[in-house]
Amino acid sequence: MSSQQSYSANELLRRYKSKTLSPLEYIQNLFHRIELINPKINAFVALNKEKALYQAKQAERIYGKNDNARPLEGVPIAIKDLTNTKGLRTTYGCLVYKDHIPKRDATIVKRLKEAGAIIIGKTNTPEFGHTGTTTNLLFGPSRNPWDLAKATGGSSGGSAAAVAAGLVPLAEGSDGGGSIRIPSSFCGVYGFKPSFGRIPMDNHLDGIFGNHEPFVHYGVIGRHIDDMALMFDVVQGDAMTDPFSLPKMQESVARLINLKTRDFRIGWTSDFGIYTLDEEVNHLFFDTLSKLERLGITVEHVNIDMKKTLPEYIAYFESLWTCGLAASTGEFADKHRDRLPETLLSMIERGKQLSAVEFKSLETYRAYLYHMMESHFQTYDIILSPTLAVPPFDYDQEGPFHINGKKIKRDSDWVMTQLYNLTGEPAISIPIGFTKKTKLPVGIQAAARRLDDVRLLQFAKLMEDDFQIPTLAPQNHD
């Protein structure tokens, strides 16, 4: 399988249709590769091998008979272990659920299956996705395919690692504060959080970790924007199970993003006025802005007025997040304290301290952030920032101890992604290169006005085509 791990989803579909690649042989080879690589990176925590091979045989028959293949016929996709999969173990990263088999698929999984995708397995995540790193008491830490000593980020760290290692071309993730974009930046792949409501979120039907607050999104992780648009086309659209879900966009996103244009007006902020950046992240960020200017794209600084210091802003977001977490998992946590990590328990306890009045008052600041950002998007098509303030740190750390010698709050001060969960605007982490000293991936975060997902993906496609940043971790090549 010396080259097959680099195939994009679109390349797979072309080869299947031309009969130059057997879906069954490809999926068999894929599981062989997972057997070799996964013990090193701990991306997958459950495999769907028997059903996947059966589906591959079905796909082979469809292509062999020239029947109408579905949009993702035979394409392997990984699902995060927070997302319900009927008949396939889903643990939410939690010891209590180590043998849990959901009775229904989440809508996103159902739609992928109906489109012909082959669900390869479930990917690692912290308990209920509660941190920006990927480890748990049940399966342990995932490791970064670019450097096994480094973290994947989280909470969709298993999904990002699986994509970066060439184990799948596409993976599903979820994002309540950066959980798609954080690991995508660390693992050097693309991580797309659409506008809130574009993809229905309905895990609450199984009584755990549903859309308890309107800032949790499903999204897509991949190595190529064309692939991600193909998957997004399949999974977006409203569903009765999610009252926040939006009507389906009728035009093909995969087609629209290939209407090439450089007609973008770009605003940028390196720090949102409150963050401290690692020197190498800072260098790569400004180098990227210079490259965009050389392409003839207008790039201007924009003043983002957060109206809070970094400690105040992080405290605000944590209050909003922990309150929802306490509401959805607090009673459960009280029953199973001995099998939950202290990080999760402390977050739940903080959430319980917030009164209903205090919680509602938080929405005032959230409304300010939304209107402030939407006003900037009246001027700019895209606003750029670093995805994270730091490159990947060691896999056994909660976060960095310092940035440029300045002591920071390890579990939050390096994460620059929460804003777009609060506003519901679409955002994507785009690989922009590697640190000079350690050769580790760094991402840039691009965001657009709410519901302008197509414009955002058009810009990401431009950057992929013009920058040509590698997204497949080299030490895992056969």
- Read off the amino acid at residue 235: V
Which pair of tokens denotes residue 174?
A: 């979820």
Active-site residue among 156, 159, 174, 179? Answer: 179
SS3 of residue 285 by DSSP: helix
Give the C-alpha separation, 190 to 430, whole Å.
5
Give residues with Cβ within 8 angstroms of 460, minimum separation 6.
Answer: 190, 192, 225, 428, 430, 446
Nearest of 363, 471, 342, 459 to residue 411 by alpha carbon: 342
DSSP letters of 6-64?
G--HHHHHHHHHHTSS-HHHHHHHHHHHHHHHHHHH--EEEE-HHHHHHHHHHHHHHHH
Give the C-alpha separation, 399 to 411, whole Å.
6
Active-site residue among 8, 22, 80, 113? Answer: 80
Rg, Å, the chain Cα set: 21
Active-site residue among 155, 156, 184, 185? Answer: 155
Alpha helical stretches, state H, 377-448 = 419-423
- Would residue 155 show up in a list of annotated catalytic residues for this protein? yes
CB atoms within 10 A of CB 180: 34
- Would residue 80 show up in a list of annotated catalytic residues for this protein? yes
Give the C-alpha separation, 460 to 193, whole Å.
13
Q: How many CA atoms lie within 13 A of 298 on its CB side?
A: 10
- For the annotated catalytic residues, the residue numbers are 80, 155, 179
